[in-house]
Amino acid sequence: MSAGKTGAGLPRGFACAAAHCGIRKKRSDLGIIVAERGVSAAGIFTKNRVKAAPVLVTREHLRASRGRARAIVVNSGNANCSTGAAGMAASRATARAMARELGCAEREILVCSTGVIGLPLDAGLITSVLPSLVAARAGAAESFEAFSGAIMTTDTRPKRSFARCRLGGKTVRIAGCAKGAGMIHPQMATMLAFLTTDAAVPPALLSRLLRRVAERTFNAISVDGDTSTNDTVLLLASGDSGAALRSGTAETEKFAQALERVCADLALQIVADGEGATHVAEIEVRGAPSHRAARRVAETIATSPLVKTALAGADPNWGRILAAAGRAGVPFDPDRVRVWMAGRLVCRRGTPVPFDEADLHRRLLEPKFSLAIDLGAGRGSARMWTCDITAEYVRINASYRT
């Protein structure tokens, strides 16, 4: 089993392409992933009450097709959100045009959008380019790279990850790419992730695996605590490797672990590329009354502006971690708490432990480090990743729209 940014090869049965269709001024703004025949598909979507049209359409299609799909069409530059009936029509027109190109049912096409909110999306820009895009699709690494570039918004770099594992004597491949940046900002960002594998996985199992893995990866990162109207993760499984997965087997567990490595790698790339971010902190909460309580404490620490600004300053200000934990609504006795920063114990029984401030400051200048807290109140644990909040984050998000 391996996971990384290159070298594991692409899953068989898929082809990609990308182009500039005119939603943005110059940059590539349209990408497709095509399965050469109908494949298993699973998706998870934003929990925001305000859902963009493509989220509504894609969710509806996955239900109607009972987890089968032929292709994904993604545009950047326009989120197609808060666009009313015209927005729904634009997403449906995109899916219909793509289905016509591939000769499949409309419900087998999944659509995603990311970009500015509240502006009408001209589906004609997309549909006029689809025929040439479908003709140009290829299974080559370059096509996958072009796709991963077309979905970027305020991202400073594309995010890709690959894994390979041996299942029942066959080599199974997993590929993923994502876009993030603000997590999430409804004007110009959203988290989108697209995963493909050539394992054969029944739709119901695929959906369960995706949900479980996402909970520990994409749903365990925070850039700013905001949630996009467009967040979508899609996973397609072609079966072309010849390895078939069944529920509850050791093989499936092995596959889930490989999938988790890809998703965790993408999630960390998203946090590291958070708007203005200069540091990634892994937050570990232990000794909570339950896993759920641990998660709540981890989320409160991960989204605390005071913790995140302290990280920007590489300030060993553990009092802010303790204070954030204290307001998470989880019962614990402060006198039993221990806190570590970058591996150094800085607080025990709720009181300070002497430490070398200059040394710890240096450790907090590293691009990645851990923050850990043991509440001494049970066996619940949780892990999350967050980034610092910098003046650059404010600059990016305060700039008047242009």
Q: Which residues are catalytically annotated?
A: 190
Going 54 to 274 to 217 to 285, the CA torsion angle's sign is negative
384 lies in the site for a copy of itself, by CB under 8 A: no
Helical axes 318-326 vs 291-303, angle rounded to 10° = 130
* Residue 187, phi then psi, degrees to nearest 5: -85, -50
Cis check: omega of the bond before 184, within 30 degrees of 0: yes
| 85 three-class SS | helix
CB contact set of 136 (below 8 Å; sequence gap of 6+) = 17, 19
**Do residues 373 and 338 touch, judged by C-beta distance below 8 A?**
yes
Smallest gap from Cβ 211 to a copy of itself, in A, equals 19
1 lies in the site for a copy of itself, by CB under 8 A: no
**Binding piece for a copy of itself, criterion CB under 8 A, among 7-15, 115-123, 129-137, 169-177:** 115-123
378 lies in the site for a copy of itself, by CB under 8 A: no
**Do residues 179 and 190 touch, judged by C-beta distance below 8 A?**
yes
**Do residues 123 and 90 touch, judged by C-beta distance below 8 A?**
yes
| 317 three-class SS | coil
Given 91, 127, 227, 269, the residue binding a copy of itself (CB under 8 A) = 227
**Binding piece for a copy of itself, criterion CB under 8 A, among 22-30, 99-107, 113-121, 141-149:** 113-121
100 lies in the site for a copy of itself, by CB under 8 A: no
**Binding piece for a copy of itself, criterion CB under 8 A, among 2-10, 27-35, 263-271, 305-313:** 305-313
* Residue 170, phi then psi, degrees to nearest 5: -110, 150
362 lies in the site for a copy of itself, by CB under 8 A: no
Question: Within positions 28 to 47, which residues make up the interface with a copy of itself, using CB under 8 A?
Answer: 47
Smallest gap from Cβ 223 to a copy of itself, in A, equals 9
| 44 three-class SS | strand
User: Angle at Cα 86 formed by Cα 81 and Cα 90, nearest 5°?
Assistant: 80
Smallest gap from Cβ 215 to a copy of itself, in A, equals 17
In which element (H, E) is residue 247 found?
A: none
Q: Which CB, 171 or 187, lies closer to a copy of itself?
A: 187
Q: How many angstroms separate the CA atoms of 132 and 32, rounded?
A: 11
In sequence order, what E strands does 156-198 have?
159-167, 170-179, 192-197
376 lies in the site for a copy of itself, by CB under 8 A: no
Q: Residue 85 corresponds to which amino acid?
A: A
327 lies in the site for a copy of itself, by CB under 8 A: yes
118 lies in the site for a copy of itself, by CB under 8 A: yes
Question: Within positions 48 to 77, which residues make up the interface with a copy of itself, using CB under 8 A?
Answer: 48-51
Alpha-carbon distances of 87 from 57, 90, 282, 306, 356, rounded to whole Å: 10, 5, 39, 39, 57
Q: How many angstroms separate the CA atoms of 352 and 319, rounded?
A: 9
**Binding piece for a copy of itself, criterion CB under 8 A, among 129-137, 141-149, 195-203, 227-235:** 227-235
228 lies in the site for a copy of itself, by CB under 8 A: yes
Residue where the block lists tokens 């940059």: 27
Residue where the block lists tokens 């949780």: 382
Smallest gap from Cβ 402 to a copy of itself, in A, equals 10
332 lies in the site for a copy of itself, by CB under 8 A: yes
* Residue 360, phi then psi, degrees to nearest 5: -65, -40
Q: How many angstroms separate the CA atoms of 274 and 180, rounded?
A: 7
Would you state the structure tokens that stand for residue 86, as one six-digit string? 């015209």
Given 160, 185, 295, 338, the residue binding a copy of itself (CB under 8 A) = 185
**Within a 13 Å sphere around the CA of 164, how many CA atoms are in the beta-carbon half?**
13
Question: Within positions 192 to 221, which residues make up the interface with a copy of itself, using CB under 8 A?
Answer: none
Given 38, 59, 82, 171, the residue binding a copy of itself (CB under 8 A) = 82
350 lies in the site for a copy of itself, by CB under 8 A: yes
How many chain residues are in contact with a copy of itself, going by CB under 8 A?
68
399 lies in the site for a copy of itself, by CB under 8 A: yes
318 lies in the site for a copy of itself, by CB under 8 A: yes
**Binding piece for a copy of itself, criterion CB under 8 A, among 67-75, 132-140, 178-186, 204-212:** 178-186
325 lies in the site for a copy of itself, by CB under 8 A: yes
**Binding piece for a copy of itself, criterion CB under 8 A, among 69-77, 89-97, 135-143, 348-356:** 348-356
Contact residues toward a copy of itself (CB under 8 A) are 47-51, 81-84, 117-119, 182, 184-187, 224-229, 303-306, 309-310, 312-315, 317-320, 322-328, 330-332, 334-335, 337, 347, 349-352, 361, 388-391, 393-395, 397-401
